[in-house]
């Protein structure tokens, strides 16, 4: 049997700690969580966490949020490129992609909504840059689908759709039913906001 790559083990443990930290930040707020709290949830001493995250909570928050914003941008670009000649299909693909993210990552969304300003300037600016670029992918597709839209109007529609889809931190506990049913509701609502020809 081959040896386990220690870098893979270390990375997965690091990601596990980040996931736990995000859950705590979402539940209690950034200032309501200490390194000792995160350590207790991860079964590691608070001081030992500084071995993994030398910048403490700020470093954990930045490392949790920056890759998420990058993955959203990369995924958005991929879906737009795949449906370059069919803007309606591109909009549907973007909505499906974002709804899946929203349903699998409600804690991340809650932390992005409420705690992003806790970050130092540099990582906060980088996350905002990635978020703006992701929005512009949507704006470009919406303007191809609906040429009458100005860039500003398309941006308003995109943000309205994000508001619907990013409601999962508040909806997950309140809406009964299976994940597929919630996904269908969010998808239909977002498409109705974006595409007047959509029929649910």
Q: What is the pLDDT of residues 175-194, one digit of tens each?
A: 556 888 999 999 999 999 99
pLDDT digits 0-9 by tens, 102-133: 999 999 999 999 999 999 999 999 999 999 99
Lowest mean pLDDT among 48-57, 74-83, 146-155: 48-57
Shortest CA distance to 38 belongs to which of 24, 52, 59, 55?
A: 24
Domains and CATH numbers, the chain: 56-194 (1.10.357.10)
12 contacts 23 by C-beta, under 8 angstroms: no
- With pLDDT > 90 as the criterion, what percentage of the chain qualifies? 78
**Mean pLDDT, to the nearest integer, of 27-36?**
94
Residue located via tokens 């995924």: 75
DSSP class of residue 118 equals G
23-38 average pLDDT score: 94
Question: pLDDT-derived band of residue 198, with 50, 70 and 90 as boundaries?
Answer: confident
DSSP per-residue letters across 166-198: TTHHHHTTTS-S-HHHHHHHHHHHHHHHH-TT-
pTM: 0.87
pLDDT at 171: 77
pLDDT at 40 over 90: yes
For the residues 71-100, what does the mean pLDDT come to?
98
Please report which residue ranges of 44-178 form alpha helices under DSSP H.
Answer: 46-52, 56-82, 87-104, 106-115, 121-145, 151-165, 168-171
Q: Is the pLDDT of residue 174 over 70?
A: no
pLDDT of 172: 53
pLDDT at 85: 96
Question: What is the rounded average pLDDT for all residues in the chain?
Answer: 90
């Amino acid at each position: 049997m081959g040896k386990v790559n220690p870098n893979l083990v270390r990375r997965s443990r690091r990601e596990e700690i980040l996931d736990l930290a995000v859950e705590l930040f979402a539940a209690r707020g950034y200032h309501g969580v200490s390194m000792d709290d995160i350590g207790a949830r991860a079964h590691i001493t608070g001081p030992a966490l500084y071995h993994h995250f030398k910048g403490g909570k700020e470093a954990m928050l930045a490392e949790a949020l920056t890759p998420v914003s990058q993955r959203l941008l990369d995924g958005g670009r991929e879906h737009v490129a795949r449906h370059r000649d069919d803007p309606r299909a591109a909009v549907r693909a973007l909505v499906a992609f974002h709804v899946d993210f929203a349903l699998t990552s409600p804690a991340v969304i809650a932390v992005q909504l409420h705690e992003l300003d806790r970050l130092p300037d540099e990582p906060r600016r980088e996350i905002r840059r990635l978020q703006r670029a992701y929005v512009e992918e949507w704006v470009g597709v919406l303007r191809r689908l609906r040429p009458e839209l100005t860039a500003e109007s398309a941006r308003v529609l995109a943000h309205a759709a994000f508001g619907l889809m990013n409601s999962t931190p508040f909806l997950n506990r309140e809406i009964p039913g299976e994940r597929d049913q919630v996904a269908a509701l969010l998808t239909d609502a977002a498409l109705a906001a974006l595409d007047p020809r959509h029929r649910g």
